[in-house]
């Protein structure tokens, strides 16, 4: 994978520009990666509901759960679907709205300085090998493009928002990710 530094976009992936983004306060301060999971409706995979959420187009009548989240304005930089498809919603040099109230090593407002990567999944199911492979590729590309990043700066959403968030969950295999990053 390759990131076009000028645009902040991964090459050869689907890009949909989410309206839920804005300028980072300091473009040189991209110093963390946050791993999330998402499934819509919860526990169900496939379909376009995640796209709809990140594009502010989620139909609240399509599922009872959607009534509780349809008004959220959220995004991630990248989504990795269960089949390995990579989608980008926010250029990396922009601030995605993925972390909410958060703290990483004493720094609040993690959206300001982190990259948000969503895996299509849930806290109580294993992730697919192809998702780890694509995630490792994205992380390696990020570390190559943004010199302040390294593989020691990857956290789960639960790490930066303990008690509020639980993702990527107990079924996320951190060792598998780090093994792939070492290869």
Which residues span the domain enclosing 83? Answer: 3-182
Per residue in 132-164, pLDDT (tens digit) is: 999 999 999 999 999 899 898 999 999 999 999
CATH value at residue 130:
3.40.80.10
pLDDT band at 183 (very low <50, low <70, confident <90, very high): confident
| Measured distance CA(136)–CA(23) in Å, rounded | 26
Overall number of domains in the chain: 1
- C-alpha dihedral sign at 111, 115, 120, 123: negative
Q: Which of 41, 43, 116 is nearest to 78 (CA)?
A: 116
Q: Given a cut of 90, is residue 170 above it in pLDDT?
A: yes
Task: Tell me the whole-structure pTM to 2 decimals.
Answer: 0.97
**Which residues belong to the active site?**
118
């Amino acid at each position: 994978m390759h990131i076009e530094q000028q645009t902040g976009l991964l090459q050869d992936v689907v890009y949909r520009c989410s309206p839920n983004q804005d300028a980072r306060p300091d473009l040189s301060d991209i110093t963390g990666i946050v791993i999330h999971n998402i499934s819509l409706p919860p526990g169900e995979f496939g379909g376009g509901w995640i796209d709809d959420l990140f594009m502010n187009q989620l139909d609240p009548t399509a599922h009872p759960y959607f009534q509780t989240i349809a008004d959220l304005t959220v995004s991630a930089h990248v989504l990795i679907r269960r089949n390995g498809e990579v989608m980008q919603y926010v250029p990396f040099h922009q601030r995605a709205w993925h972390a909410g109230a958060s703290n990483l090593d004493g720094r609040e407002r993690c959206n300001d300085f982190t990259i948000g990567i969503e895996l299509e999944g849930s806290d109580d199911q294993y992730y697919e090998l192809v998702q780890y492979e694509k995630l490792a590729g994205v992380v390696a590309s990020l570390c190559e493009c943004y010199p302040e990043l390294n593989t020691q700066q990857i956290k789960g959403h639960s790490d930066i928002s303990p008690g509020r968030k639980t993702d990527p969950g107990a079924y996320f295999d951190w060792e598998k990710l780090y093994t792939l990053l070492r290869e």
